[in-house]
């Protein structure tokens, strides 16, 4: 079984992300000059600058003062919540985010950070409810989908977590945080699926196949062969098993057994690209350039661009004396 990372809670929202929200909100707040006292607007501007400098205490005091001067200024309450969340004062952050949302229910980011604050306090149901609202209102925001997945994973619902994190990955395919949490979710889904399979029928050929694949990935090729043979005994005509067995025999240097396995695979599944290709490579290792080239080219005709195919075709040409 795969050992999952033991870290249950991800790191705090990055300062970069908070600053991005802050800049957005500062820009949004500018038209409010006609709606709020000019003094509150100036305090808000100075607090924003303090937060950008990383001076959270000054920023917090400033946003608090702006909110007092203009109680209907939703962005001031929101930014105060961002500061309090960065300071680890989550109850205060929640109060500020809820005030901001009461004033402006669709304020971008408010439900997300409200959910994160609840998450920090291990109030997972409230965290999920808030972040779900954010993802519904702003379906193109990768962070909202990521945090929805993080919360679902913490709630022990890896399938739903994987679904949310897959959406996040489509929106931000190179985000390392998303890739990390997505990998955790899919690992847990895989672990649960295999665990269920073992429970349903611990003697099925699929169980032996999984054990064989695990042994192969750990370079325990002799053990992998034993498990593949057990799987084949239960499902002798199952496509793929003989090809995988042949690969393990090849890793052990058992050429004859590998060749017999690949040929048996082609009897069962004549269009098996991998069996043709691996049989071709095996032929090259036996210095049969003509047979190796024929089999590799046949495999490439069905699936172009197989791994190391150019290299292996070059080996074939050298064996045939065509290396000039």
Tell me the pLDDT band of 4, cut-offs 50, 70 and 90: very low
> pLDDT class for 28, splitting at 50, 70, 90?
very low
**pLDDT-based confidence at 87, cuts 50/70/90?**
very high
In this prediction, residue 41 carries a pLDDT of 85
pLDDT at position 40: 86
Q: pLDDT (tens digit, 9 = 90+) per residue, 133-188?
A: 999 999 999 999 999 999 999 999 999 999 999 999 999 999 999 999 999 999 99
**pLDDT at residue 204 above 90?**
yes
In our burial notation (b when 16+ CB lie closer than 10 A, e otherwise), range 48-78 reads: bebbeeeebebbbbbbbbbbebbeebbbbbb
The b/e string for 153-187 (b: 16+ C-beta within 10 A; e otherwise) is bbeebbebbbbbbebbbebbeebebbbebbebbbb
Cα–Cα distance for residue pair 75/262, rounded to 1 Å: 67
Structure tokens given for 94: 């929640």
Percentage helix, strand, coil for the chain under 3-state DSSP, each rounded to 5 = 75, 0, 25
- What pLDDT was estimated at residue 10? 47
CA dist 40 → 44, 47, 67, 88 (Å): 6, 10, 8, 25
Side-chain-facing half-sphere of 71: CA atoms under 13 Å? 1
Q: What is the pLDDT of residues 51-73, one digit of tens each?
A: 889 899 999 999 999 999 999 99
The per-residue pLDDT for 1 is 30
Please report how many Cα atoms fall inside a 13 Å half-sphere around the Cα of residue 289, on the Cβ side: 12
Classify domain 15-193 by CATH number: 1.25.40.10
**Which pLDDT tens digit goes with each residue over 102-115?**
999 999 999 999 99
Give the pair of three-digit tokens for residue 54.
């990383």
Rounded CA-CA distance 203/187 in Å is 23
Kindly tell me if the per-residue pLDDT of 24 is higher than 70.
no
Domain spanning 205-319: CATH 1.25.40.10? yes
Residue 242's nearest CA partner among 212, 197, 281 is 212
Which residues of the chain form CATH 1.25.40.10? Answer: 15-193, 205-319
8 A C-beta contact, residue 116 and residue 13: yes
Question: Distance between CA 311 and CA 298 in Å, rounded?
Answer: 16
Q: Is the pLDDT of residue 75 over 50?
A: yes
Percentage with pLDDT > 70 across the chain: 88
């Amino acid at each position: 079984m795969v050992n999952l990372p033991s870290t249950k809670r991800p790191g705090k929202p990055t300062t970069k992300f908070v600053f991005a929200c802050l800049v957005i909100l500062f820009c949004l707040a500018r038209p409010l000059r006609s709606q709020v006292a000019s003094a509150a607007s100036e305090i808000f501007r100075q607090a924003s600058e303090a937060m950008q400098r990383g001076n959270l205490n000054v920023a917090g005091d400033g946003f608090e003062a702006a909110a007092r001067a203009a109680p209907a200024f939703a962005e001031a309450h929101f930014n105060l919540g961002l500061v309090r969340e960065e300071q680890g004062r989550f109850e205060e952050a929640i109060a500020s985010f809820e005030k901001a949302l009461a004033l402006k229910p669709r304020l971008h980011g408010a439900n997300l950070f409200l959910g994160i604050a609840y998450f920090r306090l291990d109030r997972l149901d409230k965290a999920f409810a808030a972040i779900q609202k954010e993802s519904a209102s702003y379906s193109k925001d990768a962070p909202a989908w990521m945090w929805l997945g993080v919360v679902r994973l913490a709630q022990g619902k890896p399938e739903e977590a994987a679904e949310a994190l897959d959406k996040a990955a489509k929106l931000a395919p190179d985000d390392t945080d998303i890739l990390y949490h997505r990998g955790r979710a899919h690992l847990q889904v895989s672990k649960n699926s295999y665990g269920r399979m073992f429970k349903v029928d611990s003697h099925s050929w699929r169980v032996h196949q999984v054990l064989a694949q695990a042994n192969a990935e750990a370079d325990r090729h002799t053990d992998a062969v034993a498990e593949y043979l057990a799987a084949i005994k239960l499902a002798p005509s199952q496509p793929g098993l003989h090809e995988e067995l042949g690969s393990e025999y090849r890793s052990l240097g058992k050429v004859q057994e590998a060749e017999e396995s690949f040929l048996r695979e082609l009897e069962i599944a004549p269009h098996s690209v991998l069996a043709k290709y691996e049989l071709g490579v095996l032929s090259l290792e036996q210095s049969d350039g003509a047979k190796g080239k024929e089999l590799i080219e046949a495999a490439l005709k069905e699936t172009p661009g197989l791994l190391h195919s150019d290299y292996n075709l070059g080996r074939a040409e050298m064996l045939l004396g065509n290396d000039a």
